[in-house]
Structure 1
Amino acid sequence: MNTFLKTLSVAALAGLTLTSVAKAEVSEHFIIHELAQTPQEAATLIRDFIAMDDEWSLNGDFEMMGGAAVGMKICFNSMRGYVGAAGLHNLALMPCGNIAFYEENGQSYLSMLDVGYITTLSPHPSLEEGVALARPAYAEMLSNVLGVE
């Protein structure tokens, strides 16, 4: 009986630990928005916007989790020059728009890395300037296209 209680206690503790890992805190490098659209609809809206606007590029578009989520890599094209000016090794940071659309508990979400992550990885004045230019451009695009603030 004592062994059974110990095993049960260990299993319960493991379950609590796994639950807390699944609900990890989101760092300041992520921008999260609830969406009115499904993940697939939101991705289509972004694709359509980029196809009509020369200031943006779609660098990657892929399904994840068996099609339940969509990942996108987009670039605010004006950002490219700032990244190159900081040293060509920084090109590995491109594109600076890393987005995921997913659903959780019946609610659709957008998760995007804040473009400021690149200055965390590679502090440089040119990158700071680029981030200052790109951050409001991404915010405006997401607001206009997906209706998020």
Structure 2
Amino acid sequence: MSTILKTLSAAALAVLTLTSAAKAEVSEHFIIHEVTQTPQEAATLIRDFIAMNDDWSLNGDFEMMGGAAVGMKICFNAMRGFVGAAGLHNLALMPCGNIAFYEEGGQSYLSMLDVGYITLLSPHPSLEEGVALARPAYVEMFTEVLGVK
């Protein structure tokens, strides 16, 4: 498993290096914000917030690109019931918060896959209701914890 992660990290670094000169178009499914913290500092703030808040869960936390970036998988816990109500096969869509912190050109960024991706993969009224609940919760957390507007 460690070899796979190292290979993926090396591949990600190669892709980042190749794409930094020619920026790719960002899909509307990504939410990207500049942050004032380093990637590691931002991740620590999110970890600390989740550790002290029962509304959230940290499902995964890992360094990427030799520690230059941090990936996190977090969940707004209220979302779980909506996902389960749409059919247990939808549990594979969890966690709904897929986040990366990285630095580019001396500026740190937060990149998050918009939680609405789950309704693209599995259209269901329950999932749409959960997304409507989760989106503002993520916005509030990022504003409170990272100062993102």
- Residue equivalent to 1:90: 90
Matches of 1:91 and 1:123, distance apart in 2: 14
Give 1 or 2 for the bigger CA radius of gyration. Answer: 1
- Residue equivalent to 2:8: none
1:28-39 equivalence runs, <5 A: 28-39=28-39
Cα gap change, 1:123 to 1:40, in 2 (>3 Å): same
* Count of residues in Structure 1 that have an aligned counterpart in Structure 2: 132
Cα gap change, 1:20 to 1:35, in 2 (>3 Å): closer
1:1-149 equivalence runs, <5 A: 22-149=22-149
Deviation string 1:52-71 (CA, Å, 9 cap, x unpaired) is: 00000000000000000000
Cα gap change, 1:21 to 1:127, in 2 (>3 Å): farther
SS of structure 1 residue aligned to 2:26: coil
Cα shift at 1:21: 8.8
Identity of aligned residues (%): 89
Matches of 2:128 and 2:21, distance apart in 1: 33
TM-score calculated relative to the size of structure 2: 0.86
Cα shift at 1:84: 0.3
Deviation string 1:2-40 (CA, Å, 9 cap, x unpaired) is: xxxxxxxxxxxxxxxx76994111011100000100000
Task: Report the RMSD for the aligned CA atoms in angstroms.
Answer: 1.4
Matches of 2:21 and 2:27, distance apart in 1: 14
TM-score calculated relative to the size of structure 1: 0.86
Cα gap change, 1:144 to 1:122, in 2 (>3 Å): same
One-letter amino acid of the structure 2 residue matched with residue 123 of structure 1:
P
Cα gap change, 1:89 to 1:22, in 2 (>3 Å): farther
Cα gap change, 1:24 to 1:88, in 2 (>3 Å): same
SS of structure 2 residue aligned to 1:115: coil
Which runs of structure 1 show a deviation greater than 2 angstroms over 4 or more consecutive aligned residues?
Answer: 18-22
- Residue equivalent to 1:15: none
- Structure 2: gaps of 5 or more residues: 1-17
SS of structure 2 residue aligned to 1:89: helix
